[in-house]
Amino acid sequence: MNSEYNHLENAVTTTEPASATHAVAARAVDVWKVYGNSEQTRVNALAGVSVDFEQGKFTAIMGPSGSGKSTLMHCLAGLDEVTQGEVSIGDLRINGLNDAGLTKMRRSKVGFIFQQFNLLPTLTAKENITLPLDIGGRKPDQAWMDLVIKTVGLGDRLGHKPTELSGGQQQRVACARALVARPEVIFADEPTGNLDSRSGADVLSFLRQSVDEFGQTIVMVTHDPHAASYADRVIFLADGKIVAHMDQPTEDRVLDQMKNLDAARGV
């Protein structure tokens, strides 16, 4: 381990998963993601990451550009293959699954919210929301769907095409879509990155609400300390390793932690 991180507050050096007092929605055990095959070109995007994401918790993954936070999320969500290590969603170990298995897993166990281009332009808002269910040929639970739609506050715009919605509205549709299939875990990749602060706050409140009220597990990649402050817990990545974590984060503490990380890396 890099000794320069040792003095940091909340620094973690353990590679052991968090204690199993809570059920785990997603888990990575000693995950490596290596690009390049010769010694010279070898880049460790993830270098032995082990982390548990508890059920019903909102976790933010932070870190500077190139720290591996997006790669970690992609590996957890079954979008990217790990070089070494184990990844599970719920009690399903997903590394080693073939494409069909992964696709089925994503459809039933995972929800996604991307930074942009979340919606299919040919489908209406409502059709976009039910997309994962429709793909799997499942019928939506009407009461649940009504509740989700009510919570995201889209009632009168359900028949609109994405081009007729504002950026914030589009992102709320994406949230509803992620939630409607009741996935094991929702992965959100910079969900507010493209929004103004007010729309961003709406989306974050909704995510918070879905954790508190519906017991949804959310893992969010972000570089925005304000967004991270909505989470129950923040994990900090640098150079492909988890270098710190923080429970009950506030915007200021996260900001400080980021500064310390930057300082430690000599930026």
Partner 1 sequence: MLRAIFKSLLSRKLRLLLSGFAVVLGVMAVSGAFVLSDTLTKSFDDLFATANKNLDVQITGNRNVGDGGGDSFATPVPEKAVATVKDVPGVKKAEGSIGLNGARVVDKDNGKVIGSQGPPRLGIAWTGETDLMQIAEGTAPKNDKEVIINQGLAKKGDFKVGDTIDVLTLLQPKSTYTVSGIFELSGGRESLGGETYVGFTLAEAQRVMLGQSDAYSAIDVEANDGVSQTQLKADIENALGGAYTVKTGDEVADEQKADVEEFLSIFRNVLLGFAGVALFVGIFLILNTFSIIVAQRTKELALFRAMGASRRQIMWTVLLEAIVIGVIASFLGFLAGLGVAAGLKALVESSSGSALPGSGLSIPPIAIIASFTVGIIVTLIAAVVPALRAARIAPIAAMRQAADTQKPLRKITIAGAILTALGMALMGWGLFGDASIWALLGGVLFTYIGVAMLTPSIAKPVIDVVGRVFSWSLPGKLGRRNSARNPRRTAITAAALMVGISLIAGVTVLGSSIKTSFAKLVSDGVKAELLIIGDLDGGEGARPTYDPAVIDEVKALPDVAYVTPYQNDNVELDGNEEFASAADWTTMQQMIDVEGIQGEFRDLKPGEIIVDDKMADELDLKVGSTVGVATNRKLPGSNDGGVKDMTVVGIYDQSEFLGGLLLSEDDAKAGFSQPQPSEGYIKLKDGADVNVVKDQVDDILANNPEVSAQTQGELVEQGKKQIDQLLIIIYILLALAIVIAVLGVINTLALSILERTRELGLLRAVGLTRAQTMRMVTVESIVIAVFGSLLGIVVGCGLGTAIVKALKDDGISELDFPWTRLIIFLIIAIVVGLFAAIIPAIKAARTNVLRAISYE
**Residue 124 Cβ, how far from partner 1 at the closest point, in Å?**
10
Nearer to partner 1, 16 or 99 (CB): 99
Rule CB under 8 A: is residue 201 a binding residue for partner 1? Answer: no
- The reply to whether 83 sits near partner 1 by the rule CB under 8 A is no
Paired tokens of 181: 């299939």
> Which amino acid would we find at residue 139?
K
The phi-psi region of residue 56 (left if phi > 0; otherwise alpha if psi is between -120 and 50; otherwise beta) is left
Q: Which stretch binds partner 1 (CB under 8 A): 9-17, 28-36, 99-107, 253-261?
A: 99-107
Residues 209-248, interacting with partner 1 (CB under 8 A): none
Applying the rule CB under 8 A, the residues between 58 and 77 that interact with partner 1 are 74, 77
Which residue type occupies 20? A
Cβ at position 164, least distance to partner 1 in Å: 13
Among 19, 37, 122, 142, binds partner 1 (CB under 8 A): 122
Binder among 18, 48, 66, 80 for partner 1 (CB under 8 A):
80
The interface region with partner 1, picked from 37-45, 130-138, 219-227, 258-266 by CB under 8 A, is: 130-138
Q: Which two tokens stand for residue 39?
A: 């010694």
Q: Give the total of residues touching partner 1 (CB under 8 A).
A: 31
- Residues 229, 182, 122, 189: is their CA dihedral positive or negative? positive
Closest distance of CB 220 from partner 1, Å: 16
Residue of the chain from 30, 86, 134, 239 that contacts partner 1 (CB under 8 A): 134
Helix axes 197-214, 167-180, angle to 10 degrees: 20
Stretch that binds partner 1, among 3-11, 20-28, 129-137, 200-208 (CB under 8 A): 129-137
* Residues in a beta bridge with 51: 28
- Residue 120 is a binding residue for partner 1 (CB under 8 A): yes
Radius of gyration of the chain (CA): 18
Give 81 or 251: the residue with its C-beta nearer to partner 1: 81
Give the one residue of 107, 208, 226, 265 binding partner 1; rule: CB under 8 A. Answer: 107
Residues of this chain that interact with partner 1 (CB under 8 A) are: 74, 77, 79-80, 99-100, 103-104, 106-108, 111-112, 114-123, 131-132, 134-137, 163, 177
